[in-house]
Structure 1
């Protein structure tokens, strides 16, 4: 199979594409720094040392943190995404630090309880523009995270460069732009709230609406690869997923249905069946039932490594075939991911979705999580003095009820799974007024 055998390549002795001073500009001008570090190296360091990144260690990836010492959190997932993205950036010649920054940042805005937490907050924000984890990420790095304050008192968050902000914007459009022209009632994911439009327009100035730079595309693929491969690994190790179960036609049909519903709405059963069969035919696909032994763990880890190499290699080869061997950066090229690779990644994501995310015990937990977030929102709105000092100041400076609700949501989105549960239990115990 051609997309299993792509050799690793390097770009002319590690040459990186040239970035302009415009790419290095920040929303708030800063004094010149030590020239031994690039502006993009500073961006990466700012994210790496941020409170938002640390909090990801206690936020749900797929399985809640604390239920199993093995499973990934949002933090370990982000570190793995950064490793995959940085390597692919190096192969293609775009700045690895920009891609690393984008990968480390990509989940910063996600609230407690994973994607279900997003859904709950979006419902709470229905009248003020909704909630979206990616838009919240932009809000966090450009406003909430304390690092740089402008001379006029305006918070600038981490004050990252234009190129890094553009690279971490997976969906470069607003909610209204996402839903414009849609025939259904759904809303696509989006990357900016209306009241964060100022900084968005700053770093997107002159860029075609909706177009993504190659660094953002690399980050997005690294996220998909890590999500698909590592969530399957977690599901297998946790006893939720048994690869042999998909030999049965009925189980394959369930897998294809959930994959189509969540990830590939226009892909046929035949295409997904071929993708699954290719994966099952790979020499590294585990043949034995996972029993937790050292051999089984090594076999599972070998599969994850090989799958990452398979997907990265396919994208690298296809992109080079389309755009040649010069260093590729910003809007000089687009990442090319072969359709068979896209389907294989989606089928793996479907496995984790089917066996973990929509399992009955998981859905029962969702009801409890909905109560936690809803009651915390009501409590903070009724008692804003209980907000953390940073958010409390934002709340009392807010111009109207919509802005005040947005601050309450900022506070809740910053909570970890553990801190959200702890606050909720204190409220239910009648201690809310003493917190």
Structure 2
């Protein structure tokens, strides 16, 4: 923390004090944090939560679980090269998506609208809630849950958006009723929502994994073909407009120049004519490895150039990502957006997913607490008002995997009338 040396007692402190463990075994507090996330129920559920493609539709494709493992590996390598504690950045990578609901970002947008009366929904704020309240591991002195009770440093490293909801902003990292633990973990941090270096490393690792691997999945699935981009200037312009609107502060014209050079890069040549053969898969994997290494090395080199040698941790430095690397990464994300997330049939699928969540929230609101599981029913009974009870229902739905959300909907909400005012009028997000 600001004013605290790296590895200080303040960094290793936990919200609820715990007796010493593993005496003589030498495990650090951050190694314990990593193990707690890895063994959590919330982490296991990521195996059946959508990344980009719907979970379970293809054995090759990534889920939130495999994505999180890849983010953790990239973050650990990058953080180690910068001098961060490797287990802190690894823990942040493993944990960063624990709060994501069924159906990926589409489900996140749906729950945000449904949760308006209790302050909205955001996957990163939900991650903090899972880590500090919802996951079963440690009990507070009063008998309530302290979640996994991770160290201050690890909790801070998971915070992509370390601030409450702000007017006009979609991204935030804490709900109002989680402010006490949030203020504890941010004690001593610089004002203004500055993120610690480990959180910045995790965030860039997330962008790198998301951009490179989702394009890999799209090419393997036959959704992404580079031929039209190479041949059609209008298609390139349309892609750059999508990227400028969704992922980048650069103009479409500036992105266009980067895109032309990226498409001409020999590293992408093996992607043309992909046929799914062993040779083609090996070439595709080689391309993803080169791109990942390029983006990681660019950030490490630029950060070292600014901050010099020696270990960099917590608030001693900020991650520096060169403009070119950010633009290339954003363009790859845009390729997945345009050709995978917006492929034919996507709009109808997104509407069905949102209807499932809307009707499920409505059914649980009517039938709580009996319809809630054993974790959430007591929380609903203890809630002081309707907004707090709605938050419990949202927590329940957000915890479900994609298949579980469908099964719960079929059991509890099948046959609900469209005229109930809970299933129409959805605006499909850009991504």
Superposition misfits of 4+ residues, deviation over 3 angstroms: 427-431
The count of corresponding residues between Structure 1 and Structure 2 is 406
* 2:401 is aligned with 1:416: yes
- Taking the aligned partners of 2:143 and 2:126, their CA distance within structure 1 comes to 21
Give the TM-score taking structure 1 as reference length.
0.91
Residues 46 and 65, structure 2, Cα contact 8 Å, conserved in 1: yes
Distance change >3 Å, CA 306–CA 401, structure 1 → 2: same
* 2:260 is aligned with 1:277: yes
Residues 240 and 253, structure 2, Cα contact 8 Å, conserved in 1: no
SS of residue in 2 equivalent to 1:360 = coil
Aligned match of 2:20: 32
Q: What does 1:49-64 correspond to in 2, within 5 Å?
A: 49-64=39-54
Residues 49 and 103, structure 2, Cα contact 8 Å, conserved in 1: yes
| Match for residue 362 of structure 2 among 378, 381, 397 | 378
SS of residue in 1 equivalent to 2:67 = helix
- TM-superposition CA deviations, 1:6-58 (whole Å, max 9, x none): xxxxxxxxxxx941011000000000122510000000000000000000000
Aligned match of 1:243: 226
- Taking the aligned partners of 2:55 and 2:104, their CA distance within structure 1 comes to 11
Aligned match of 1:361: 345
Residues 286 and 299, structure 1, Cα contact 8 Å, conserved in 2: no
| Match for residue 149 of structure 2 among 152, 159, 164 | 159
* 2:335 is aligned with 1:351: yes
- Taking the aligned partners of 2:210 and 2:413, their CA distance within structure 1 comes to 35
Aligned match of 2:206: 223
RMSD over aligned Cα atoms: 1.4
Residues 100 and 123, structure 2, Cα contact 8 Å, conserved in 1: yes
- Taking the aligned partners of 2:55 and 2:348, their CA distance within structure 1 comes to 17
* 2:279 is aligned with 1:295: yes
Residues 107 and 354, structure 2, Cα contact 8 Å, conserved in 1: yes
| Match for residue 192 of structure 1 among 174, 181, 199 | 174
- Taking the aligned partners of 1:245 and 1:158, their CA distance within structure 2 comes to 48
- Taking the aligned partners of 2:98 and 2:379, their CA distance within structure 1 comes to 20
Q: How far 1:316 sits from its partner (Å)?
A: 0.5
Q: How far 1:150 sits from its partner (Å)?
A: 1.0
- Taking the aligned partners of 1:96 and 1:261, their CA distance within structure 2 comes to 34
Q: What does 1:380-395 correspond to in 2, within 5 Å?
A: 380-384=364-368, 385-395=370-380
Q: How far 1:211 sits from its partner (Å)?
A: 0.6
- Taking the aligned partners of 1:430 and 1:255, their CA distance within structure 2 comes to 40
* 2:385 is aligned with 1:400: yes
Residues 239 and 338, structure 2, Cα contact 8 Å, conserved in 1: yes
Aligned match of 2:422: none
- Taking the aligned partners of 1:278 and 1:158, their CA distance within structure 2 comes to 46
- Taking the aligned partners of 1:97 and 1:158, their CA distance within structure 2 comes to 16
* Structure 1 unmatched runs, 5+: 1-16, 180-185
- TM-superposition CA deviations, 1:138-190 (whole Å, max 9, x none): 00000000000011112100000000000000100000xx33xxxxxx42300
Q: How far 1:270 sits from its partner (Å)?
A: 3.0
Aligned match of 2:122: 132
- Taking the aligned partners of 2:388 and 2:55, their CA distance within structure 1 comes to 32
Residues 79 and 198, structure 2, Cα contact 8 Å, conserved in 1: yes
Aligned match of 2:251: 268
* 2:32 is aligned with 1:48: no
